[in-house]
Amino acid sequence: MPNPNEHAADVVILYRPVGQAELDLIMASGQRAFPPRLPHQPIFYPAVSEEYAVQIARDRNTKDQASGFVGYVTRFRVRRVFVDCYEVHQVGGANHLEYWIPAADLADLNTNIVGEIEVVARFEGKPAGDHP
């Protein structure tokens, strides 16, 4: 739930598609923080639209063993003053917009999250070779 002292104009709503392991770490934080990036993940990519995050969670995470063949869409609010320091990048179609936040800045992002990180969608896949 957002902080009642934060005005809507002072926050930006972003989305992050995650797999099961990342969601477990978010839940362990009390839904207040994203876990540190792995060494091979130098950038944190929150999506600007729920539609784009759904596409990733549904079409990629559900086919990925590392994601547990499940995709979640998380929604979170971050202070505009923080996120305005970063550019939005278009990485495909017109709605494929995301921020590129260096992994070194993730702790700062976490301290600028207003309220909790919420799960707004869940998608399940099947491991390759599994058939109904």
What is the residue extent of each domain of the chain?
A: 10-124
The whole-model pTM stands at 0.90
Average pLDDT along the chain: 93
Q: Is the pLDDT of residue 72 over 80?
A: yes
Q: What is the pLDDT of residue 126?
A: 78
Question: Looking at domain 10-124, which of 3.20.170, 3.30.70, 2.60.40, 3.30.1460 is its CATH number?
Answer: 3.20.170
Q: What share of the chain is helix, strand, coil (3-state, %, to 5)?
A: 30, 30, 40
Angle at 116 between CA 113 and CA 120, to 5 degrees: 115
CA–CA separation, 94 vs 20, rounded Å?
28
Q: Is 69 helix (H, G, I), strand (E, B) or coil?
A: coil
In a 13 Å sphere around the CA of 5, the CA atoms on its Cβ side amount to 0
* Phi then psi dihedrals of residue 71, to 5 deg: -125, 135
Q: What is the pLDDT of residues 99-127, one digit of tens each?
A: 999 999 999 999 999 999 999 999 999 77
Which tens digits make up the pLDDT trace of 8-49?
789 999 999 999 999 999 999 999 999 999 999 999 999 999
